[in-house]
Amino acid sequence: MAAKNNTEVIIDGKVYTLSGYESQEYLQKVATYINDKIAEFKMLDEYKRIPSDMRSTLLALNIADDYFKAKNQVEKLEQDLEVKDREIYDLKHELISNQIRMESDAKSLKDLEKENKELLLNKTRLEATLEDALLGKVDKLEKPGKADKPEEKKADHTEEKKEEKPSGKKA
Task: State the 10-residue block means of pLDDT for the chain, 171 residues long.
Answer: 88 94 94 96 90 93 97 98 98 98 97 97 94 78 54 50 50 42
User: Kind and range of the H or E element at 22?
Assistant: none
Q: State if pTM tops 0.75.
A: no
Quote the pLDDT of residue 2.
77
Q: Which amino acid is at 101?
A: R
Q: Would you state the pLDDT for residue 60?
A: 96
In the structure, how many helices (H) and strands (E) does the chain have? Answer: 4, 2
* CA 81 – CA 85 distance, rounded (Å): 6
CA–centroid distance for 6 within its chain? 55
- pLDDT score recorded for residue 130: 92
Cα distance between residue 64 and residue 42, in whole Å = 18
pLDDT for the residue numbered 80: 98
Residue 123 pLDDT: 96
CA angle 92, 96, 101 (to 5 degrees): 145
Quote the pLDDT of residue 145: 54
Amino acid letter at 116? N
User: Which pLDDT score, from 0 to 100, does residue 3 have?
Assistant: 85
Question: Residue 28: is it exposed, middle or buried by C-beta count within 10 angstroms (0-12/13-18/19+)?
Answer: middle
